[in-house]
A and B are shown apart, each in its own frame.
Chain A
Amino acid sequence: MSEIIKQEKKLNRNELQKLQSENYAKRQNYRQEREELRKNLKHVRIDQEFLTNDKENNDNDKIELPKKRFYRQRAHSNPFSDHRLEYPISPNHMDWSKFYPYYYDEINNKMNKQVTIADIGCGFGGLMVDLSPEFPNNLILGMEIRVQVTNYVEDRIIALRQQNLNNDSTNYQNINVIRGNAMKFLPNFFQKSQLEKIFFCFPDPHFKQRKHKARIVTNTLLSEYAYVLKEGGIIYTITDVLDLHEWMVKHLDQHPLFERLDEVFEKNDKCVEIMTYSTEEGKKVERNKGQKYIKCYKRLPNP
């Protein structure tokens, strides 16, 4: 009797292993395919011209949206470690034309627009995708520290751009993502007073007290956000963790360069609505019927 069970178990384990390795191979293949596509298209201007040139290759096939399950990665990344990151020596060294080729003026050799909205820790990019049609005149940049998640967002944007070439309301040319550590290198990307809006959506809560310095809102980091934000610019925060919410509110309240915005603002601001319902994390909280805590702050002039 026990023999049989043992055998069965063994069989199961073998099967499981087989399944796992199959899944693994599948994921690897998928990632590889996508990587090639990404390499070719990451910095390409996807527009009508692209479509006509690309016809023979793709037979006008639409690039599929990436599948999230192939991009799973550990949920956390240590913001203090020396990751191998690419970041510009200074904002002047940043080549934005690679990220927003549509807004690059080849004749004058400069960008038509600057990035004015930043989504720090953009995750799978849901917020940007929804912001894109709402702010057609703003360039939006997501920053994400996890490699696979960044890859996902890049693939998503490539696919969205290609699929929506003839879409009048939006063609997703005004959003892009960068793998980076915003806590360390935000001023390397943006000039003083460049940004109009910064989003912190469902940031890592870092519950332990000794990890509090790793939180994305601290009184010292707020000074950096104030540096890249222009006067009147807005910081949006949303989280489902009450403890973290109270922490962010406490520090933002204390900071001399920020002023809390009231509920009337929250009710009427379209970003607040998008932020509440569009991010992946926001939808998850919605499904679990969790609470969401929101606060927005305005950048005050320097005293």
Chain B
Amino acid sequence: MKHPFQLILSTGNLLFTATKNELYVFDLKSGNKIGEWIDTFDSTETIKEKVKKEQERQLKENESKKSKTESLEEDEPTKKKRKSNNSEPKIPTPGEGAPTIYNYIRSLKLSNDEKSLIIITDSDKSGIVFKLDLSNKNNGNILKLIKRQPFPKRPNVIVTSNDDSEIVMGDKFGDVYKIQINDPELKKLDSESDPLLGHVSMLTDLIVTKQDNDQEFIITTDRDEHIRISKFPSSFIIDKFLFGHESFISNIVIPKFNNNQLLISGGGDNFITLWNWVKGEELDRFQLDDLIKPHLNELHLTPSRFQNEENNLKEYCVSKIVALEKINSIAVLIESTNQLFIIKISDNFQKLELDKSIQFDSNIVTITASYEKVFVGLDNDSNLLTSIDIETREIDQSNDIINKVQENYSVEVNSRDEFYPLYTTYQLRKRSEH
């Protein structure tokens, strides 16, 4: 059976998909596979290097300790033989019962000019930039790797700056770095490098945008309910916070309509919020409870440690919001459900209003939108991908291209047990005990 797509991204003409460590590009005119890249990075070398560094540090520390004690007890003959410490560093192997390490592609993003693709790999904690070389369409691969920049901590989200000259990356430690794309040198980043800005919490989403007057801003969100707006690139000036969320934030979107002034945010709360981020105003809150409660399943049960006696406590979270530019709407996905909500931004961009709720045969893994279509990645044995026409908000019934894409996609597994994690957003929920 085929592994469901973990991530999809579409421009309208192209469809990018990521599954495990494999990245594919499909042509949406023909359904042909026109690009592929597989992350073959072997992490043992970097781990080896790290272990060696740590070993050296410890040796140094022991040495200085020893020299201290020795100077105190100089008369004592040192009977103990020193271990020869020049042995090769051992690569630690996870013991039995250790959680599986999944090295997958964590994020797919396009540059603003749609000429580059930026992804995150878990294996070496890198941000990777590909140039899309469409002239190479017929030779099989339009992806041309131009930069692979490792980061000190695992990147969580990556975008390009407004002029596409830099990549801006936020990591799980809460720090944001920016790197020149065209600089052929890789930047040496370590724990001592100064980030652009930082939260004391995991960074969950990030947008670099600008206002009409060309003033640029960087908007960052974290697990601690914060949406922070700082100036860019002088990000030491915090402009404002958007307060209102009571649980983690997983997604923010700035649609292009209404001059980039709107922002929609969602996450662990039972609502999504519409903001005018330029004014710092909350415009509307859209409650999800009534809509989604009938569609929750056993995947939404609260973990046993936090469960009630009746064992019926359920939690859900928003895992993806995408803007539908053509119809002034957004599509909202609640994790591990088979529903997709199309929500209209109505009343002169002041209100969120349900337009349509679309049901699928199986749970939705991920979504993406182009100008004309919403593409939906499904957790299904036979049908992994489907599309919705934005004009009619109907599922496309006969879709040869989509079928062809599925035919040409071939990440095979033997059973569901071999699936990589498809639903991960819920892990962001905070569970404090003291």
Interface residues of A (CB under 8 A from B): 79-85, 89-93, 181, 183-185, 187-188, 192, 209-210, 212-213, 218-224, 226-227, 254-257, 302-303
Q: Which stretch of B122-130, B233-241, B325-333, B418-426 is in the interface? A: B233-241
Interface residue ranges of B319-372 to A (CB < 8 Å): none
Q: Is the CB of B236 within 8 A of A210?
A: no
Q: Is the CB of A184 within 8 A of B201?
A: yes
Q: Is B243 an interface residue (CB 8 A)?
A: yes
Q: Is the CB of B432 within 8 A of A82?
A: yes
Q: How many residues of B contact A (CB 8 A)?
A: 32
Q: Is B410 an interface residue (CB 8 A)?
A: no
Interface residue ranges of B196-225 to A (CB < 8 Å): 197-201, 224-225
Within the complex, which residue of B175, B224, B230, B433 is in contact with A84, where a contact is CB–CB below 8 Å?
B433
Which B residues touch A210, using CB under 8 A? 191
Most buried by A among B173, B230, B237: B237
CB distance from A181 to the nearest CB of B (A): 8
CB distance from B432 to the nearest CB of A (A): 4
Which A residues touch B195, using CB under 8 A? 219-220
Q: Is B140 an interface residue (CB 8 A)?
A: no
User: Taking CB as reference atom, which chain B residue is nearest A219?
Assistant: B194
Which B residues touch A212, using CB under 8 A? 191-192
Which B residues touch A227, using CB under 8 A? 238
CB distance from B64 to the nearest CB of A (A): 14
Contact A223 B235, CB 8 Å, known A79-B200, A84-B434: yes
User: Taking CB as reference atom, which chain A residue is nearest B241?
Assistant: A187
Chain B interface mostly: loop
**A224–B226 CA distance with the chains assembled, in angstroms:** 12
Q: Is the CB of A226 within 8 A of B244?
A: no
Q: Is the CB of A220 within 8 A of B234?
A: no
**A218–B244 CA distance with the chains assembled, in angstroms:** 27
Inter-chain pairs besides A92-B243, A220-B174, A223-B197, 6 sampled, C-beta below 8 Å: A184-B201, A223-B237, A256-B236, A257-B236, A302-B237, A303-B234
User: Taking CB as reference atom, which chain B residue is nearest A256?
Assistant: B236
Q: Is the CB of B431 within 8 A of A82?
A: yes
Q: Is the CB of B200 within 8 A of A188?
A: no
**A36–B173 CA distance with the chains assembled, in angstroms:** 40
CB distance from A221 to the nearest CB of B (A): 7
User: Taking CB as reference atom, which chain B residue is nearest A88?
Assistant: B243
**A254–B200 CA distance with the chains assembled, in angstroms:** 20
Which B residues touch A223, using CB under 8 A? 197, 230, 235-238
Which A residues touch B173, using CB under 8 A? 213
CB distance from A297 to the nearest CB of B (A): 14
Q: Is the CB of A192 within 8 A of B240?
A: yes
Type the 1/0 row for B159-186, where 1 means its CB is closer than 8 Å to any CB of A: 0000000000000011100000000000
Which A residues touch B246, using CB under 8 A? 89
Q: Is the CB of B244 within 8 A of A89?
A: yes
User: Taking CB as reference atom, which chain A residue is nearest B429?
Assistant: A82
**A220–B175 CA distance with the chains assembled, in angstroms:** 8
Q: Is the CB of B243 within 8 A of A220?
A: no
CB distance from A188 to the nearest CB of B (A): 7
Closest 5 CB pairs of A and B: A220-B198, A90-B243, A82-B432, A227-B238, A84-B432
Q: Is the CB of B243 within 8 A of A256?
A: no
Offer 22 A-B interface pairs, CB within 8 angstroms, sorted by A: A83-B434, A89-B225, A90-B244, A91-B243, A92-B243, A93-B243, A181-B200, A184-B200, A184-B224, A209-B192, A213-B173, A220-B198, A220-B199, A221-B198, A223-B197, A223-B230, A223-B237, A226-B236, A226-B237, A256-B236, A257-B237, A303-B237
Q: Is the CB of B434 within 8 A of A218?
A: no
**A183–B243 CA distance with the chains assembled, in angstroms:** 17
CB distance from B176 to the nearest CB of A (A): 9
**A256–B173 CA distance with the chains assembled, in angstroms:** 23
Q: Is B293 an interface residue (CB 8 A)?
A: no
Within the complex, which residue of B198, B201, B245 is in contact with A218, where a contact is CB–CB below 8 Å?
B198
Which A residues touch B174, using CB under 8 A? 220
